[in-house]
Amino acid sequence: MKVLLIFGLVAVALADVTRFEGDKVLRLKPVLNEHVKVIRELANSVQLDFWTPESAEQVTVGISVDIRVPAMYLDMAFTVLQQSGMQLDVFIDDVQEAVDRQIENKGSPRAHSYTKYNTWSEIESWMNSMATSNSDMISKEVIGNTYEGRPMVVLKIGKKSGSTKPAIFMDCGFHAREWISHAFCQWFVNEAVTTYGSDSQITSLLDQMDVFVLPVFNVDGYVFSHTSNRMWRKTRSRNAGTSCLGTDPNRNFNAGWCTIGASTNPCSETYCGTAPESEIESKNLADFIRKNKSIIKAYITIHSYSQLLLFPYSYTYDLAADHDELLEVAKGASSALRSLYGTVYTSGPGAPTIYPAAGGSDDWAYDLGVKYSYTLELRDEGQYGFLLPESQIKPTCEETMLAIKYIATHVQKNLY
């Protein structure tokens, strides 16, 4: 009887896991207004998952459009798209196979691994261990709980001193399915601690400044992406009057909130929420930065994918007051990153560089007075998209460290 019960529970658990057999990721190249119209009409007819840009509304002439098409809609999608004459390439032939191939490190190593995609429970345990075993360099603070009650944990890294130091704030994992982002924050913390004393840039930085790191911002969504739906993006809050869950937290900040590149539809992947900071996760982060505004001199948020280094603004095409300096630093950081493996990043303000999007945390931080505000979109450019294999964690993190150190060194030398 117990055996039957166990098999029944396993069957229920498996039934709750979203599968992607036969789904394909297509790259479209709209070069005519008619192509844009076709894509938007198709999105209104069938359920498409926009990988880049993040919604049909953001599709414009001349940009690459990556969409996941569920297997059941493929025949219709191919017919419509091919009849339009639009360039179409299949980037991922079977999404489920790509999901399965992504996890390359089998088994659970005794020590925390920085080259695999760790679960939330593994990351939570790691944070506790890092703070305990490196008490001279790391302290831990819970800045609030998520919608589902999980802690949002910030690690403060820096050489302890008797006075308050200026700081940099960095977060990872705004969007649940961007797993390489979460991996980078873990890599950064470990690299900072283990190279202190041997890496002159890290040593100087942590002697003179502190770095606040939030390894997982959207904890609930990240857990769900591991247990139920690998492609989940948003938070997990309940939207009143609808069966749709979650808000896009990077549309939920008071920076041109919900004016452009965001949706008022609760079922949309770019849903902006009911008001700025309506998501508890957004409010927790904003409250922490507001509380520490006098010392936070840079805000860096890590996303994927597209290989971009962006800065304000995304909610307007107007240039930021510090545009020239922000661009110069971004180009220098991109050059430093490229020096290791030749990975090319594009730098620029969000709106003209990719597409307009209101409510982003980087724009909000800049308008709050955090001058050096940057968004990194990590590897790759679409071959794997959100399903970057674990074999690419190490090189991605190694090169990204060079960009972060470049930005941090500039901030350190140009405190304001």
Q: Is the pLDDT of residue 104 over 70?
A: yes
User: How confident is the model at residue 68, as a pLDDT?
Assistant: 98
Residue 110 pLDDT grade (very low, low, confident, very high; cuts 50, 70, 90): confident
> Average pLDDT, whole number, for the chain?
94
pLDDT single digits (tens) 361-396: 999 999 999 999 999 999 999 999 999 999 999 999
User: How confident is the model at residue 4, as a pLDDT?
Assistant: 40
284: Cα separation from own chain's centroid: 17
Q: At what angle do helices 323-341 and 393-413 cross, to 10 degrees?
A: 140
Q: Enumerate residues 6+ apart whose C-beta is below 8 A from 75.
A: none
User: How confident is the model at residue 407, as a pLDDT?
Assistant: 98
pLDDT single digits (tens) 235-255: 999 988 889 999 999 999 999
Tokens for 192, please give them: 């900072």
One-letter identity of residue 231: M
296-332 core/surface letters (b: 16 or more CB in 10 A; e: else) = bbbbbbbbbbbbbbbbbbbbbeeebebeeebbebbeb
Among 262, 281, 284, residue whose Cα is nearest residue 272: 262
Q: Is the pLDDT of residue 13 over 50?
A: no
CATH of 120-413, one of 3.40.50.1820, 3.30.1330.20, 3.40.1280.10, 3.40.630.10: 3.40.630.10
CA dist., res. 246 & res. 78, Å (int) = 30
One-letter identity of residue 39: I
Among 64, 72, 79, residue whose Cα is nearest residue 48: 72
User: How confident is the model at residue 105, as a pLDDT?
Assistant: 67
User: How confident is the model at residue 34, as a pLDDT?
Assistant: 98
Domain range list for the chain: 24-99, 120-413
Q: Is the pLDDT of residue 3 over 70?
A: no
Q: Which fold has domain 24-99?
A: Alpha-Beta Plaits (3.30.70)
**Which residues are known to be catalytic?**
377
